[in-house]
Homo-oligomer: A and B are copies of this chain.
Amino acid sequence: MGDKAERTREKIRQAAYSLFAEKGFKEVTMTAICEQTGLSRGGLYRYYTGTGEIFSEILSQEYRISHRIAQGERATDILEDMLNEIQKEILERERSLSLAIYEYASLGNEELFIRLNDNAKSRWKSLIAYGMREGEFNKVDPDQASELILYYYQGLRMWSRVIPLNTREAENYVNSIRQMLCKNKD
């Protein structure tokens, strides 16, 4: 795909992200995405067949770490970068996709979420196993630790739309993960 096409797709995803975060999945229409992006209907459909495809692509974008592990970067550095990303996200209340995820799943897209969940878990497990192998991380059960990291995050993301969370909750999150994984952090 050409650069220009990829830029347009990225513009569409960004506009759609805001709409999904604001309205959930069901209420967002292709028409609304046209309005938000300034694209014509024909223009939009050239890139995406529907809101489901856009939403699924947004969710599939992930922080990549395998090349960093392959290059032998320190596990602690990779972890810190991931935690920094997450800490920022937790406080962006208006960017939580929890309701849209809930709605999209209820429309029968369980397989997508099983795959996304498996991918996210594999990513964390590979980092944890790597950090343990290198002697940087505590000996933990990688499966159990990655579930804690992922579901605790999802709980915060959902609750950020129910009550106002502050920097303290985000800090407590990253500190819990650090203390679980990193040596001498207790």
Tell me the A residues contacting B by CB distance below 8 Å.
98-99, 101-102, 105-106, 110, 113-114, 117, 141, 143-145, 147-148, 150-159, 161-164, 169, 172-173, 175-176
Contact = CB atoms under 8 A, between A and B. Distances in A.
Contacts of A117: 159, 163
Nearest to A156: B151
A141 to B, nearest CB: 8
Contacts of A110: 162-164
A156 B148 CA distance: 9
B151 A155 contact: yes
Given A110-B163, A114-B163, A172 B147 contact: yes
A169 to B, nearest CB: 6
Nearest to A114: B163
B155 A169 contact: no
Contacts of A162: 101-102, 105, 110, 113
A26 to B, nearest CB: 12
A106 B161 contact: yes
A116 to B, nearest CB: 9
Given A113-B163, A155-B158, A144 B102 contact: no
19 contacts: A101-B162, A102-B158, A102-B162, A105-B163, A110-B162, A113-B163, A143-B172, A144-B172, A144-B176, A150-B155, A151-B155, A151-B156, A151-B169, A153-B155, A154-B155, A154-B158, A154-B159, A155-B155, A155-B158
